Structure 1
Amino acid sequence: MDKKIKRPIRVLVAKVGLDGHDRGAKVIATALRDAGMEVIYTGLRQTPEMVVNAALQEDVDAIGISILSGAHMTVFPKVAHLMKEKGMDDVLLTGGGIIPEEDMKQLQQKGVGNLFPPGTSTNEIASYINNWVQEHRSF
């Protein structure tokens, strides 16, 4: 592979909206850090605008949104729209939580990356982010 990463992959992990359950997000953040990535965790109750602005400021390669509230069909399209407005076409938008498979398919058709249900191996998530970034980002 010619495009060897010369710095750690930077990932922003976010909880959007009123969803106050962040154990899964913290587990993922720790696992990604253990996989050698730089992780910025925004904490609870972020707005889509706050997430995208933080991602811009931190120059991240990927945004991971953890969502358990059922608002995924609103949150992911809003974040994707803001990312497009800001020219963040080479930043991965991924995430996970309680998202029905049919909704996952619809979101992926709208440009959202893979979404992961509870119980997904953290190695699988880290590998997906790593492979996507290697393929889509230029360093």
Structure 2
Amino acid sequence: MTTAPRLDPPARVLVTKIGLDGHDRGSRIVAAFLRDAGMDVIYTPPWQSIAAVVKLATEEDVDAIGVSSLATDHLIVPQLVAALREAGLAHVGVVVGGIVPADEQPALVAAGVGAIFGPGASRDAIVAGVAALAADARAARDAELREQTP
């Protein structure tokens, strides 16, 4: 197992399922990968609303959000990204894992999704990708805070 570059304090990642998809095996496995790599993982049960995810992301001060999609729930991820921006959380990295048809991936990236991992993605690729997004998010948040400090 490859360990990702570690943030201090550790990266905080929210792993969730939005919409009506209840298949959570993949998200549980990914949450374990991230925990094993030293990240703080907040895991939600399935069927979360976008508002609930944004609220939890705010309360938990997360660096990244991983959304698992088996069916078509990835199609509402752009709404999640927009809601994060509206809540002042534009710096939070968003990653989608699961079944995302190739022709639907460009729209997710254009909406602000930082990475998409399909079936068969390796543990190392997932951990490295989430770690990179979390590090970028932490750097962006810290830069915003420095700009706001008189």
TM-score where L is the length of structure 2: 0.85
Which consecutive residues of structure 2, in runs of 5 or more, have no partner in the other structure? 1-5, 143-150
Among all aligned residue pairs of Structure 1 and Structure 2, give the percentage whose two residues are the same amino acid. Answer: 42
Which consecutive residues of structure 1, in runs of 5 or more, have no partner in the other structure? none
Aligned match for 1:23, one of 14, 22, 25: 25
| 2:63–2:137 contact (8 Å) kept in structure 1 | no
For residues 65-107 of structure 1, the C-alpha deviation after alignment (integer angstroms, 9 at most, x for no partner) is 001121322x211101110101111110111111101211221
RMSD: 1.4
Aligned match for 1:5, one of 4, 7, 13: 7
SS of the aligned residue for 1:123 comes to helix
Write out aligned runs for 1:70-89 (5 A).
70-73=72-75, 75-89=76-90
> What code does the residue aligned with 1:21 have?
H
**In the aligned structure 1, how far is the partner of 2:134 from the partner of 2:46?**
26
**In the aligned structure 2, how far is the partner of 1:103 from the partner of 1:29?**
24
> What code does the residue aligned with 1:101 have?
A
For residues 6-38 of structure 1, the C-alpha deviation after alignment (integer angstroms, 9 at most, x for no partner) is 211000000112211000000000000000000
**In the aligned structure 2, how far is the partner of 1:97 from the partner of 1:12?**
16
| 2:93–2:134 contact (8 Å) kept in structure 1 | yes
**In the aligned structure 1, how far is the partner of 2:135 from the partner of 2:48?**
28
**In the aligned structure 2, how far is the partner of 1:107 from the partner of 1:132?**
15
Structure holding more helix per residue: 2
SS of the aligned residue for 1:115 comes to strand
- Residue 91 (structure 2) pairs with residue 90 (structure 1): yes
SS of the aligned residue for 2:48 comes to coil
| Counterpart position of 1:64 | 66
**In the aligned structure 2, how far is the partner of 1:87 from the partner of 1:38?**
22
| Counterpart position of 1:137 | 138
| Counterpart position of 1:43 | 45
SS of the aligned residue for 2:94 comes to strand
**In the aligned structure 1, how far is the partner of 2:137 from the partner of 2:31?**
21
Deviating runs (4+, > 2 A) in structure 1?
A: 132-136
Which structure has the larger Rg over C-alpha atoms? 2
Aligned match for 1:54, one of 53, 56, 62: 56
SS of the aligned residue for 1:137 comes to helix
